């Protein structure tokens, strides 16, 4: 059986030593009173909930899955899920980062993200139920009317009601302009929504008293394409004037998808047959509200893979220290045993360090992105808000795609550490691989994220935001460029930073002549950009650790941080050279292949 220990020391290092989140939070009026002890205490308790309450349900939930009564359309979640959700609600966890105006605790988003990392490590399938609710809450908070907020947000904050995002239809996924679900206006200002949705995560459950679907649909006179999509609130039970659930609405779960992973989460086929809904925002402007939820979800999905990378690493490390197999190539290390623990073997260490480096780099990026969102929403200086939002927009596809791709690499590597035992269900490793695999696919496939990064976020403003990130890199290079102890960390990012300008310009010029060039290069490009971002944070982490060591701190934690940084730059970062070469090969080798694909 696997185990899980919340990585509180790692979280504290990133928040307090690397990024000084409390210093930044004190500049934001809603969080001016925030302090280190409060954050640490909340996360310590959150870690207990994750490890003690929902982690024990992870393997059993995967084995049992969800079931549906085809007569009543009622869905049952795995044994223990409902009780765990009640514990979650009773503990006030749904309200953690919600607005006090709706009953929330008003804690920073970054604290909520750290909490959710632990939930994702412990049980991604379970964590998706409250996680989707947070996204729906954010969309309504940003674009709902005062009446809609009063009607729905208090109950979603308390956790009594859960939420979903209903986008995908059988014939269209990312291309939402092809959507067919219809919304017919009614005399009382409501709409009757009719259509079919698929792949709706947490689309039904037996844990909450109402389910709030945010549904994309078309008005009768809507223009074609994405410009004709509107957003609607469609509750499972219509809401009475006193706020209580009323009559059942004509929206129900028509079936469950049979999946590779996250089997403890309901992935529903949703049927709407004249379901009563109310519009969010303006007609034909539904994507404005939905993008709030989608962008939150993209950060959340990156966090899911971060959580799985961490828990997979923890278990592979424990196994590698315990499992004996063969002797070290440089001579016996455990002379009192018939063989050495497999952690003595170089390639086992490579697999372990790969997962460790990607987990810790991902945590640094996730925390930084979370603070950008805080600044975008709450900083008193308009320029800081604007700059933070711009940087977050560029980093979001990297968070989603780079961290989930790394999660795929890491969970597979950790399963490999177990050898044949990794392929066996009882150890839990193959579940981490299966659960992570969806993270690369939903909320916009990683190819879509790559096209978004290169086409919109970088070429769309002629590389202006990329240059702003380059200034952060340049500042660190200038600060540490003459420090010999930092050379192995600084030189690679300095070189890549310079190369990125030429690389981006070259791809952009080719794309101007032939748009397929952007499509051919985008996935490789995002991975190069991801390493530039990770490289920057790993160099900063090494900087912090080396300064602690120089100051006389003998905590081996800092030595380990430097060793991991050294591994990352020596073994993982050099991938960028190959990626830039393959990106430059162009689209012809892909598109001039009609005979090969006949």
Closest CA to 445 of 392, 401, 398, 394: 401
List Cα–Cα distances, 584 to 457, 498, 509, 519, in angstroms.
20, 17, 12, 12
Residues labelled as active-site residues: 443
Q: Which residues pair with 213 in a beta bridge?
A: 164, 234
Q: Mapped to the 3 state alphabet, what secondary structure does 489-557 carry?
A: HHHHHHHHHHHHHHHHHHHHHHHHHCCHHHHHHHHHHHHHHHHHHHHHHHHHHHHHHHHHHHCCCCCHH
Are the beta carbons of 311 and 432 closer than 8 angstroms?
yes
Are the beta carbons of 373 and 109 closer than 8 angstroms?
yes
List Cα–Cα distances, 190 to 226, 274, 349, 588, in angstroms.
22, 11, 60, 51
* CA–CA–CA angle 504, 505, 506 (5° rounding): 90
* Alpha carbon distance 22, 108 (integer Å): 10
Are the beta carbons of 356 and 421 closer than 8 angstroms?
no
Residue 230, token pair as written in the block: 């509107």
Query: Over the Cα atoms of the chain, what is R_g?
Result: 24
The three-class DSSP label of residue 472 is: helix
Burial class (CB in 10 A: 0-12, 13-18, 19+), 563: middle
DSSP 8-class letter at 424: S
H helix or E strand, kind and range, residue 243: none
Burial class (CB in 10 A: 0-12, 13-18, 19+), 171: exposed
What count of other Cβ atoms lies within 10 Å of the Cβ of residue 245? 19
* Alpha carbon distance 460, 145 (integer Å): 32
User: Cα dihedral sign for 296, 298, 300, 302?
Assistant: negative
The three-class DSSP label of residue 92 is: coil
**What are the φ/ψ torsions at residue 246 (nearest 5 degrees)?**
-110, -135
Chain centroid to Cα 250, Å, comes to 32
Are the beta carbons of 562 and 540 closer than 8 angstroms?
no
Closest CA to 215 of 256, 250, 266, 255: 250
Residue 370, token pair as written in the block: 């979370």
């Amino acid at each position: 059986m696997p185990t899980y220990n919340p990585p509180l020391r790692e979280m504290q290092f990133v928040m307090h030593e690397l990024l000084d989140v409390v210093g930044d939070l004190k500049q934001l009026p809603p969080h001016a009173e925030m302090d280190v002890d409060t954050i640490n205490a909340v996360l310590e308790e959150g870690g207990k909930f994750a490890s003690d309450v929902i982690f024990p349900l992870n393997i059993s939930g995967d084995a049992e899955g969800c079931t549906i009564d085809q007569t009543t359309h009622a869905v049952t979640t795995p044994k223990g899920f409902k009780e765990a959700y009640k514990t979650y609600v009773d503990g006030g966890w749904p309200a953690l980062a919600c607005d006090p105006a709706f009953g929330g605790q008003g804690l920073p988003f970054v604290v909520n993200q750290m909490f959710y990392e632990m939930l994702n490590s412990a049980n991604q399938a379970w964590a998706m139920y409250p996680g989707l609710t947070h996204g729906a809450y954010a969309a309504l908070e940003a674009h709902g009317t005062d009446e809609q907020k009063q009607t729905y947000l208090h109950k979603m904050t308390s956790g009594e009601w859960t939420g979903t995002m209903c986008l995908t239809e059988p014939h269209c996924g990312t291309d939402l302009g092809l959507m067919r679900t219809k919304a017919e206006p009614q005399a009382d200002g409501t709409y009757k929504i009719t259509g079919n949705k698929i792949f709706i995560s947490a689309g039904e459950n037996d844990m909450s008293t109402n389910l709030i679907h945010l549904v994309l649909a078309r008005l009768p006179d809507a223009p074609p394409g994405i410009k004709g999509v509107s957003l609607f609130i469609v509750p499972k039970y219509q809401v009475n004037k006193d706020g209580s659930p009323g009559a059942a609405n004509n929206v129900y779960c028509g079936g469950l998808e049979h999946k590779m992973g996250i089997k403890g989460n309901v992935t529903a086929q949703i049927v709407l047959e004249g379901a009563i809904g109310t519009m969010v925002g303006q007609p034909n402007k539904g994507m404005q509200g939905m993008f709030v939820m989608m962008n939150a979800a993209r950060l959340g999905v990156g966090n899911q893979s971060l959580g799985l990378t961490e828990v997979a690493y923890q278990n592979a490390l424990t196994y590698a220290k315990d499992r004996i197999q063969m002797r070290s190539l440089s001579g016996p290390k455990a002379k009192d045993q018939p063989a050495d623990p497999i952690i003595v073997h170089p390639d086992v260490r490579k697999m372990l360090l790969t997962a460790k480096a990607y987990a810790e780099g991902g945590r640094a990026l996730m925390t930084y992105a979370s603070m950008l969102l805080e600044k975008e929403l709450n900083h008193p200086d308009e320029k800081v808000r604007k700059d933070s939002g711009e940087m977050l927009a560029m980093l979001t596809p990297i968070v989603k795609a780079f961290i989930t791709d790394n999660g795929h690499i890491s969970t597979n590597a950790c399963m490999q550490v177990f050898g044949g035992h990794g392929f066996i269900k009882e150890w839990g490793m193959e579940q981490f691989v299966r659960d992570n695999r969806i993270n690369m696919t939903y909320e916009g496939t990683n190819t879509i994220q790559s096209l978004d990064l290169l086409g919109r976020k970088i070429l769309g403003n002629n590389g202006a935001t990329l240059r702003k990130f380059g200034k952060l890199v340049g500042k660190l290079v200038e600060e540490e460029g003459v420090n010999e102890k930092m050379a192995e960390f600084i030189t690679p990012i300095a070189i890549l930073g310079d190369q990125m300008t030429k690389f981006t310009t070259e791809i952009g010029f080719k794309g101007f002549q032939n748009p397929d060039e952007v499509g051919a290069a985008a996935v490789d490009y995002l991975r190069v950009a991801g390493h530039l971002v990770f490289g920057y944070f790993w160099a900063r982490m090494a900087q912090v650790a080396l300064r602690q060591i120089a100051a006389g701190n003998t905590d081996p934690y800092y030595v380990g941080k430097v060793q991991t940084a050294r591994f990352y730059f020596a073994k993982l970062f050099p991938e960028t050279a190959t990626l830039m070469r393959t990106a430059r090969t162009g689209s012809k080798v892909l598109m001039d292949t009609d005979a090969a694909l006949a």
